[in-house]
Amino acid sequence: MTGTAARAEALIGHGVVATTPVAGGDICTTTRLRLSDGRVAVIKTRPQAPAGFFAREAAGLRWLAEVEGGAKVPELLGADDDCVVLAWVEPGKPTVEAAERFGQALARTHAAGAPTFGADVDGYIGLAPLPNRPLETWPEFYASRRVMPYVRAAVQRRALTAEQAATIERTMSRIHDVAGPAEPPARIHGDLWSGNVVWGTDGDAWLIDPAAHGGHRETDLAMLALFGLPHLQRVLESYDDAAPLADGWRGRVPLHQLHPLLVHAVLFGGTYGARAAAAAKAALEPPAD
């Protein structure tokens, strides 16, 4: 028995009869588990993970799973400081029908709401810290807890020039003008890029690796668009049918993409700093819908 299998058995109380490495993860080691009761699970491990890393993921999965009829998340089987164990979702092909169901389900998840903008504890987006101390309005929260900490970090890492930082700071100084109509806190995934959507063979889309918190629903939708998602237009149309988006939402996509672009600038450098500055500039000059 491998150490990973033994770790899973100790955590979930079921025997592991086979293990298979899962390719694709660059943050955690992921292993598929066949359990003695016939179920299939997956364990994600990372030695010396940041404090609370897997606990935050587990809490986010539980919180998203509370929503009846909401976007699907894998069943949480166990979590500890160095790992998390989930029910396995067998990957399939994205379909238009699944995209439509996903849009409707995501709208229900968002509509379930949150107590405030933020969360009671800080979290992670990938391995990067995610400050969550609540603030009363979304513009304040986004500027203070999402954008400006990463502007400072990106400048320190020379992933953002002083001129690019100034462009983003100008946008943040006017965020109340460009944020759109006020909305209550939504229950959002928080890191909803296409890699965190698994299209299952059951015909549904499943959410993994959340950075869940109370935020703006347009943030999740903008993140889906950042790196592309199959059938994205059908997802958005289905979402809008279920929970109509506020006028001008398309023009606010660059604003909501600003934070993940800054995260990528800090973590990976390259052209992400320039892309973040361009998004900030576009947020000040949104096109008409």
What distances in angstroms separate CA 6 from CA 2, 12, 36, 51, 229, one per listed residue? 6, 10, 13, 23, 36
- pLDDT at residue number 16: 94
| Distance from chain centroid for Cα 106 | 12
How far apart, in whole angstroms, are the C-alpha atoms of residue 52 and residue 124?
A: 9
pLDDT of 192-233, one tens digit each? 999 999 999 999 999 999 999 999 999 999 999 999 999 999
Residue located via tokens 């990528």:
264
Q: What is the pLDDT of residue 283?
A: 96
pLDDT value, residue 98: 98
CATH architecture of the domain 3-87 equals 2-Layer Sandwich (3.30)
The three-state secondary structure class of 150 is: helix
What single DSSP character describes residue 209?
S
Residue type (1 letter), 286: P
C-alpha atoms less than 13 angstroms from C-alpha of 132 in its C-beta half-sphere: 23
Residues with active-site annotation: 191
CA distance 91 to 258: 30
Give every residue of the chain whose pLDDT is below 70, as ranges.
1-2, 25, 286-289
Does residue 160 contact residue 275 with C-beta atoms inside 8 Å?
no
Residue 83 half-sphere exposure toward CB, CA atoms < 13 A: 22
Angle at Cα 251 formed by Cα 219 and Cα 289, nearest 5°?
130
d(CA 44, CA 81): 11
Q: Which CATH number fits domain 96-284: 3.40.50.11540, 3.30.420.40, 3.90.1200.10, 2.30.30.140?
A: 3.90.1200.10
Per domain, the residue ranges of the chain are: 3-87, 96-284
